[in-house]
Structure 1
Amino acid sequence: MTNAELAFVFPGQGSQKIGMLSEIAQEAPEIQATFADASDVLGYDLWDLCQNGEQDAINLTQRTQPLLLTSSVALYRLWRSRGGSQPVYMAGHSLGEWSALVCSGALAFKDAVHLVRERGRLMQEAVPAGEGAMAAIIGLDDKEVEVACAASAQGEVVAAVNYNSPGQIVIAGSRTAVERAIEACKAAGAKKAMPLPVSAPFHTELMRPAAEKLTPQIEVTNFNAPEIPIVHNVHAELEADPEAIKSLMIEQIYRPVRWTACVQKVIGSGVSQMVECGPGKVLGGLVKRIDRSVACHAIDSSGNFNEALRTTAV
């Protein structure tokens, strides 16, 4: 059954942690089965890595991206196998948009695992370690952050890259330019302006070489029209044409994530409930900052999974 008021949102990098999904996997064989499918593609045991490995190991971008994709797809498979309502919209934050593509039927899971591993590797290689940076800016509006970045560039790259919620924006670019922008944001009245523990400046022009190298692999992969509409990061709109979706997924690598606009688009279509399909509750928190009237559900443990099943049933 489809719930006309329900959307699914899929998290991106930053939601990973050692031991994730361990409790729910004990009673849901679908979880480890999905991880086994991914491990076949990757050539290593992804489940063992995220349960028994080191945090530094799963924080490597080329491992983080397949890990979060697999976690989200595993939870969605479990959701549907347990009779969970089908959503009317999907959206994913950065890497999470790949999870949405798989869960909407637009892309085969194993193809997505391969592509996001390459995406992570190429994004990390695009800028040498230590030369890029990202920072979170709290308490300024979008325009104030954009002005601070423009004034701080001085011939280098620094820009707003994640419009996460009103008053919460992530900037990225060359390390020295980001440092200047942090000080400019503080001077403009930011409540917080703090570097993030990420070495690569995601979603900036510095990522364009990664996008160009990934393009041939995306172009030869079969994409389908999504069975469930996806609101895309690049322009916060829907797209049904598979070739246009490929272009958006290439562009997404070096364009900002317009998450606030994506959520507003979904809410404006009549959605009042959202399920965060992946580990953690990061997106639920952002959604609440965008619109407190929306009910947000996490499903990464047995308790909250079953509660979400009950609450969203039609």
Structure 2
Amino acid sequence: MRKAVLICPGRGTYTKTELGSLTRFLDRNLLAHFDARRTALNQETLTALDSAASYSVSKHTRGDNASALIYACTLGDSLALQGVEIVAVTGNSMGWYSALACSGALTPQNGFELVNTMGTLMQQSLIGGQIIHPFMDENWHPNPARKAELLRIAAEINTRPDHTLTLSIDLGGMLVLAGNEAGLKAFEAAVPPEQGRFPMRLANHAAFHTALQAPVAAQGRAALPESLFGQPQKPLIDGRGQIWWPRAARKADLYDYTLGHQVTEPYDFTAAIRTAAREFAPDLFIIAGPGTTLGGAVAQCLILSHWQGMASKQDFQSRQAATPMLISMGLPEQRALVV
């Protein structure tokens, strides 16, 4: 049986292409439970959101809607896997919450409580914003000097009065920066446009993984009890690249990390994938749905980790064409390989 690392996506992955996918793939009993919880909280049900006549950026990208939709899609995909042995689970940003459930550290229902609560709190506060910018070129050649220069620009902006801008997510060949409006505008003014779309603001995203989220982290700890958490059943890789091993993880530590460091400190997705590759040497890296946008970032992480000698986009594509190692469940033809 092929060994695989399961990767859970974060915000921004449920787009108009994914509309309708949740009700096709998620267990009906789980969906009914999630809908009932949303109804009790006077929130629109996931069924209603997913079966809407059209996709609405203002509605479907809101934190209180997007987080729960993405979690439910990811969970449905993880439960559908067949013919593979999951040797570790990780995720990007909000995908950490999904990874907790997919690893068994949270039940599906408790995972929903965590995701829906934090997504709602983030939306209610909506502190700051995020911007994304590449440091790799379009052929995915590593460029550590460019990365250092972008981080230097951000650090300089962060020293200015009334400006906040820091690293939010180390995302393969991209840097996700977060801060207040002054900091974001200053970065947009400081770097020339690249590839026709960068630097790019992320709609309805707060300044995730920065100190600006400390009030949200405190609200999350007040609203969510430690008793929701348990031991992971599969090795779990967090946003520092640290492994939480089954039967060896203290649930108090897992709770503290999830509603502390993970909310207010940078999330190193590149380190998480590097750990997954080097420590578990899987045959496959499986990206759960929704969407397919995380595939490039995972491939870039593997290149930066020097995985199997890859050093560019062409190297990855050649390796992928010969023996696929990256499976995006959002692509029907790839999904069919693992369900």
SS in 2 for 1:88: strand
Native 8 Å contact 1:21 1:300 kept in 2: no
Q: Residue in 1 aligned with 2:155? A: 150
SS in 2 for 1:274: strand
RMSD over aligned Cα atoms: 2.6
Matched pairs, number: 297
Q: Residue in 2 aligned with 1:312? A: none
Taking a change above 3 Å as real, the CA distance of residues 289 and 301 of structure 1, as seen in their structure-2 partners, is: closer
How far residue 277 of structure 1 moved from its aligned partner, in angstroms, is 1.0
Task: Note the alpha carbon deviations across 1:22-59, whole angstroms, 9 max, x for none.
Answer: 46855x5x444432221122114312211216422221
Q: Residue in 2 aligned with 1:227? A: 233
Corresponding letter in the other structure for 1:160 = L
Q: Could you tell me how far apart the structure 2 residues matched to 1:218 and 1:227 are?
A: 21
Residues 47-62 of structure 1 aligned to structure 2 (within 5 Å): 47-52=47-52, 54-55=55-56, 56-62=58-64
Q: Could you tell me how far apart the structure 2 residues matched to 1:145 and 1:174 are?
A: 17
How far residue 199 of structure 1 moved from its aligned partner, in angstroms, is 4.8
| Gap regions ≥5 residues in structure 1 | 310-314
Q: Residue in 2 aligned with 1:136? A: 132
Native 8 Å contact 1:31 1:78 kept in 2: no
Corresponding letter in the other structure for 1:49 = L
SS in 2 for 1:86: strand
Task: Note the alpha carbon deviations across 1:53-85, whole angstroms, 9 max, x for none.
Answer: 642222110111111111111111122xxx332
Q: Residue in 2 aligned with 1:264? A: 274
- 2:287 equivalent to 1:276: yes
Residues 1-314 of structure 1 aligned to structure 2 (within 5 Å): 3-4=2-3, 6-18=4-16, 20=18, 22=20, 26=24, 30-43=26-39, 44-52=44-52, 54-55=55-56, 56-79=58-81, 83-127=82-126, 132-139=128-135, 141-153=146-158, 154-155=160-161, 156-166=163-173, 168-186=174-192, 192-233=198-239, 235-239=240-244, 240-250=249-259, 251-269=261-279, 270-291=281-302, 292=316, 295-300=325-330, 302-309=332-339
Percent of residue pairs bearing the same amino acid type: 20
How far residue 219 of structure 1 moved from its aligned partner, in angstroms, is 3.3
Q: Which runs of 4+ in 1 moved over 6 A?
A: none
Taking a change above 3 Å as real, the CA distance of residues 22 and 33 of structure 1, as seen in their structure-2 partners, is: farther
Task: Note the alpha carbon deviations across 1:83-121, whole angstroms, 9 max, x for none.
Answer: 332310111111111111111111122222122222112
Task: Note the alpha carbon deviations across 1:138-184, whole angstroms, 9 max, x for none.
Answer: 22743222211111121332111111013x11111011111112333
Q: Could you tell me how far apart the structure 2 residues matched to 1:163 and 1:61 are?
A: 21
Native 8 Å contact 2:188 2:199 kept in 1: yes
SS in 1 for 2:171: strand
Q: Could you tell me how far apart the structure 2 residues matched to 1:284 and 1:210 are?
A: 29
Q: Could you tell me how far apart the structure 1 residues matched to 2:227 and 2:22 are?
A: 32
Corresponding letter in the other structure for 2:185 = E
> 289-298 or 65-74, which moves further after superposition?
289-298
| Gap regions ≥5 residues in structure 2 | 137-145, 303-315
Taking a change above 3 Å as real, the CA distance of residues 207 and 70 of structure 1, as seen in their structure-2 partners, is: same
Native 8 Å contact 1:138 1:191 kept in 2: no
Corresponding letter in the other structure for 1:87 = I
